[in-house]
Amino acid sequence: MKGGRFSPAIMTAIDILGLEKTYSVGFWRKKPKCALKPLHLSVDEGEIFGFLGPNGAGKTTTLKMLMGLVYPTGGSAKILGMDINDPRMKAQIGFLPEQPYFYDYLTAGELLNYYGQLSGVPAKDRERRVREVLDRVGLPDVIRVQLRKFSKGMLQRVGIAQAILHDPRIVFFDEPMSGLDPMGRREVRDLMEQLKHEGKTVFFSTHILSDAEALCDRVAIIHLGELRSVGAVADLTSSVEGKVELIWHGNKIPAAMKALGADCHITGDTVRAVLLEGNQDAALEALRREQLRIISLIPVRTSLEEYFVRKLQPSKAVAGVTS
């Protein structure tokens, strides 16, 4: 259990214990290149967990190690309490790789049937499951269409379908929104929320912070193979910057506002000003004097994007907030 959260009823879905990966590069393969520094992370069952980081941060390497595609050079990990190479565990997880590519000589129905066979879905249920998942990802009419005729967005949807086909307990998505249009992204977000409501654990990597902010219970930020922070989205973005945002009706800016150092912007028939918290009483007084109608006064909070950018700056690299 991480971050001081104590809930003995919740089971740990993913437990990463110092997983690390170093590749040997160069002509003689003697030069070590660290792709992932020892990573400690745990994800509870039923969570939507976002694994954030810029390109090349080590997100895909971590996912590949968890899937048994790349072998770690140190550490270990357990999924649902089982070793990452245990076939019993693999029957209970689903995986969508980044920019998935499938056997394009197969139809969508044949591909999903094949994956159903490999995942041990009983023959009597397979056809029904295939139709259900295709329907769920918004591709109800392509069961007999060869994958070579699919667009990138359609392939991404088929990728999601194959990941949830066998009703896994944990779903790993590597950049699930990649290649999708805004409607597609919205649908995938809805799907991930549905999976959470069904009690599934969703672990997904992304560098699209708005997706993470909208979906995740917790996120981890990774950069240059190193975990920079992990915690609940609300905790990471709750720090007040000592500033307030004041909005009033009209398009008049009192002269006192400038003296108070307020940063004012007029949008339509409202004015938005950001100023230091210590100056808020004086600002309110100035607005009252001018008889301007105040719409709102709220503290300025750090957005996930600002938090993310701060964590990626080397000088400010610090350990996790709640880990």
Partner 1 sequence: MNGRIAYIASNTFREAVRDRVLYNLIAFALLMSGAAILVGQISIGIERLVVINLGLTAVSLFGIVIAIFIGIGLVSKEIDKRTLYTVLSRPVQRWEFIVGKFFGLAGTLIVNAFFMALGVFAALFYVSRHFQGSDGWVLVALYFIILQFLIITSLALLFSSFSSPLLSAVFAFALFVIGTFAEDLRGFAGLTKGIVRWLATGAAYLVPNFSALNVISSVAHEQPVARQLILSNTAYALVYAGVALCGAVLIFERRNLK
Contacts with partner 1 by CB under 8 A lie at: 23, 64, 67-71, 87-88, 90-91, 93, 95, 97, 99-103, 105-106, 110, 114-115, 117-120, 159, 162, 172
For residue 219, what are its two tokens? 């996120």
For residue 69, what are its two tokens? 């595609």
Minimum CB separation from partner 1 for residue 197, in Å? 24
Q: Which residues contact 39 (CB under 8 A, 6 or more apart)?
A: 16, 18, 19, 20, 58, 62, 75, 222, 227
Minimum CB separation from partner 1 for residue 113, in Å? 10
User: How far is Cα 58 from Cα 63, in angstroms, rounded to an integer?
Assistant: 9
Shorter beta-carbon distance to partner 1: residue 64 or 218: 64
Minimum CB separation from partner 1 for residue 10, in Å? 25
Shorter beta-carbon distance to partner 1: residue 206 or 280: 206
Minimum CB separation from partner 1 for residue 160, in Å? 11
Shorter beta-carbon distance to partner 1: residue 165 or 180: 165
Shorter beta-carbon distance to partner 1: residue 97 or 153: 97
Shorter beta-carbon distance to partner 1: residue 105 or 140: 105
Give me the residue label for tokens 């008889």.
Answer: 291
Shorter beta-carbon distance to partner 1: residue 42 or 119: 119
Minimum CB separation from partner 1 for residue 172, in Å? 8
Minimum CB separation from partner 1 for residue 64, in Å? 7
Range list of H helices, the chain: 59-66, 87-90, 108-119, 123-136, 152-164, 182-197, 209-215, 233-236, 255-259, 280-289, 304-312
User: How far is Cα 308 from Cα 207, in angstroms, rounded to an integer?
Assistant: 10
Q: Is the dihedral of CA 191, 202, 313, 21 positive or negative?
A: negative
Minimum CB separation from partner 1 for residue 70, in Å? 5
Task: Please write down the long-range contacts of 265-274, taking CB distance under 8 Å and 24 or more positions apart.
Answer: 270/295, 271/247, 272/245, 272/246, 272/247, 273/245, 273/246, 273/247, 273/248, 274/243, 274/244, 274/245, 274/246, 274/300
Shorter beta-carbon distance to partner 1: residue 115 or 248: 115
DSSP assignment of 150-211 equals: --HHHHHHHHHHHHHTT--SEEEEESTTTT--HHHHHHHHHHHHHHHHTT-EEEEEES-HHH
Asked if 57 and 223 count as a contact pair (C-beta separation under 8 A), the reply is: yes
Minimum CB separation from partner 1 for residue 190, in Å? 23
Shorter beta-carbon distance to partner 1: residue 99 or 194: 99
